[in-house]
Amino acid sequence: KIPEFNIKIKSNIDEWTLLSFIDSCKGKKEINVLLHSLGGDAESAWSIAEYVRLSGIKMNVYCSRVESAAIIILWAAKNKYSFKHCSFMYHLGVAGEGKLEDYEKHQKKIDYFNELYRKITPKNIKLNHKPIYLTAKEALKLKIITKIL
């Protein structure tokens, strides 16, 4: 049975997603999150994961599409459920365009987040900058999710 969702993350993850997530968690000990995201800002995703960890909220995530930075939010969940046709995508982050000195500063931040991302990635997934896609069955086998619904 699918519960009522307290939070729906259904777009790019950004600062607004972070603030909305925190507001929706107020006064709750357990939340059910629908996660359908192509990813977005890794810093905002890590902030959501840290908020869940530090607040002690039990987060149950129901996945319909989980890519890039959304993997970080999934990682923070107590229970990780997937719909049968969900896809998962891992990749390392890259620095954007601009002046060389801006690129170098940004690359240090990207390297830091990539190192964190490697720590939450199953060991048999060899991360690089090329996307790695998984089916729900593959994610279950790798223990990325708890159960396929």
SS3 (DSSP) at 90? strand
Q: Which of 42, 10, 47 is nearest to 25 (CA)?
A: 47
| Beta-sheet pairing, 87-90 with 58-67 | parallel
Q: Which of 87, 86, 66 is nearest to 10 (CA)?
A: 66
Residue 32 has what pLDDT? 98
Q: What is the pLDDT of residues 126-146, one digit of tens each?
A: 877 789 999 999 999 999 999
| Beta-sheet pairing, 132-135 with 87-90 | antiparallel
Average pLDDT over residues 94-98: 56
pTM over 0.85? The answer is yes
> What is the phi-psi region of residue 3: left when phi exceeds 0, alpha when psi lies from -120 to 50, beta otherwise?
beta
d(CA 7, CA 23) in angstroms, rounded, equals: 10
Rg of the Cα atoms in the chain: 15
